Amino acid sequence: MLKAEKLLYPLIIFLFAVILYFPSINSPLILDESYFIQRNQVSSIAQSPSLFNKKSYDGFYYRPLPNFISGISTLIFQYDVPCYRVFNILLHAIASMLVYFFFLLLLEENSRKNLIALFAALFFAGFPLHDYAVIWITDLFERVMIIFYLAGLIAFIRNRFKPGIYSMLFFILSLLSKEMAFSFPLIIALLYYYFGEKKFKIKQSIYALLPYLIIMAVFILLRIILFNNNVFTAKDAHSAGTLMDVVKNYFIFSGLLVFPFFLRELQAFLIMHKLIIAAIGIIAVSGVLYLILHKMKKDSTNFFFILFVILTIAPASRLLLRWYLYLPSVGFTGLISYLIFSSNFKQLKFPLIISISILVIYSFALLHEEINWVRYSNDSITALKEFIQKNKSEIEKTKQAEFLTIPAKIDDIPVFQLAFDKLFNFYFDDSSKINVKVDSKSYLADFSDPVFLIGKGNNIELKQVDNNYFILFNNGKNINFAQVKNRNNNIQSLTLKKSELKNKILYTFSNGKFYKITGIK
């Protein structure tokens, strides 16, 4: 029975993750996915080692392992999009099983370790904020990194909380995947402190931690020497934030973990009431920390889970992107499961009812978001293909296409937010590259929302409904927009001079369709 249980629980987790994300295979290539596939394309396996070279598209990063895996998968899948989606799902399912094994080993002395590990993994598999990290092909970095990261932690625990070949090897592989792996030595220190020895010994703890610190130092040094890369450069987006931005992001990240449902209405409320939200966040976090510290003498495991979240967020804390919660959510889902099953309920049915209820809520929220991914991505690509078919001959003559505005996101689902020029050329399906310019992008509540173009004297005004807004790109290079209406730091209305549009072929998006702007004199 024990052997059957060890096999049954991982199988349940794997199948749950696969079934839950299976609808996403119907989503076409959007965002920068086509570019990600193309950029890592190699003609044969013999060429695949070249993907470990520093590439211009990596910018200030060095993430060769996901690039290598991407190159191999492209050789196998070509442009069969469902294959990439299935591959994404399988990686997530594997990561979910590793979450189970991690907590099963970590909580070896707990009588309910199997149930705690099972539901922690199921919570992770169905966590509503993981849609980007799992569905988005380009975020292969996150999926590969977390697999080697968790494998390294498991290897460390299995080696009786001592550094070993396997844990160090997995750490190196996670470093070659994404910078969030820089938190690995800190988590090793936590594991040793809370679980390694009954009586903490400084000398032994240094021995346990030192090899991982040396590996990280050597890795950073090689990046600096070989690629003139100092991890987070002044030009990198992760270095643009201030200390206050980091603090603010930590509170928002914490809020998203507790309430993992990214709603447009909630986003607008947060923007309008920043001080109130910050105050509530500070009070809530202080209260939780007080309760945990108060009980720390009896059970310090809760504190480990919270520190896991805090430390794994640290490498990405300067930029607020929700897929950064993929790794930290391991600690959070572990905390939820541990609190539920370590409660004072004598009967097991109450913790099970609570856990299943949370899992049902998570699953329905994730499926709703996933269905929107499929719906809006298909609608957007259908509209783009219809536009290309209608205007192909005209665009081929000029070899360029300039868009006044396109949808970046629809109801928080990204469609054309990144690398629209690459995506346009991919679906244009022409050997000659089209020069694509985008002057602004819109956030829409629904695919059929209108973007109004209103003529006012010598100007044209672009307007959207109140809960939608524009984001400006290339401002001052192609067309000079003048901001007209600003609500809650979102630009709802823009103005531009008709003289700047004269003799130009311009396209735009409204009511679910792309169309050409005509009649400008």
Q: What is the pLDDT of residues 306-361, one digit of tens each?
A: 899 999 998 888 887 889 999 999 999 999 999 999 877 778 889 999 999 999 99
- Residue-wise pLDDT for 110-154, tens only, equals 888 999 999 999 999 999 999 999 999 999 999 999 999 999 999
Q: Identify the residue with better confidence: 345 or 98.
A: 98
pLDDT band of 1, cuts 50, 70, 90: very low
Residues 6+ apart with CB under 8 A from 392: 428, 430
Q: Inform me whether the pLDDT recorded for 233 exceeds 80.
A: no
Q: For residues 268 and 265, give the distance between their C-alpha atoms in angstroms, rounded to a whole number.
A: 5
- pLDDT exceeds cutoff 60 at 10: yes
Mean pLDDT along residues 183-212: 85
Give per-residue pLDDT as tens, 442-458: 989 899 999 988 887 88
Alpha carbons 30 and 151: distance in angstroms, whole number: 31
DSSP bridge partners of 38: none
| Distance, CA of 213 to CA of 28 (rounded, Å) | 42
Helix or strand run (H / E) with residue 399: none
pLDDT in the model for residue 104: 95
For 281, other C-beta atoms within 10 Å of its C-beta total 18
| Token code pair at residue 451 | 């973007």
pLDDT, greater one: 447 or 256: 447
Q: How confident is the model at residue 228 (pLDDT cuts 50, 70, 90)?
A: low
Cα–Cα dist 355/120, whole Å = 9
Q: Tell me what pLDDT residue 241 has.
A: 62
Residue of higher predicted confidence among 479 and 413: 413
The answer to whether 479 touches 404, Cβ cutoff 8 Å, is yes
CB 173 within 8 A of CB 141: no
Q: What does the pLDDT read at residue 234? A: 46
pLDDT reported for residue 237: 53
As a whole number, mean pLDDT of residues 76-98 equals: 95
Q: At what angle do helices 81-106 and 113-125 cross, to 10 degrees?
A: 150
The C-alpha atoms of residue 93 and residue 4 are separated, in whole angstroms, by: 20
Question: Own/partner pairs for 348-353, CB < 8 Å, 24+ apart?
Answer: 348/115, 351/115, 352/115
Q: How large is the average pLDDT for residues 427-450?
A: 87
pLDDT of residue 388: 94
Q: How much is the pLDDT for 186?
A: 93
Most confidently predicted of 155-159, 233-237, 428-432: 155-159
Strand partners, 494: 462, 483
Who wins on pLDDT, 265 or 198? 198
For residue 272, the model assigns a pLDDT of 62
Highest mean pLDDT, choosing among 194-208, 376-390, 430-444: 376-390
CB 449 within 8 A of CB 464: yes
Q: Does residue 185 or residue 282 have the better pLDDT?
A: 185
Q: Is the pTM of this model over 0.75?
A: yes
Q: What is the mean pLDDT of the chain?
A: 86
| Close Cβ partners of 269 (under 8 Å, ≥ 6 residues apart) | 277
Task: Calculate mean pLDDT across residues 211-226.
Answer: 89
Burial class (CB in 10 A: 0-12, 13-18, 19+), 33: buried
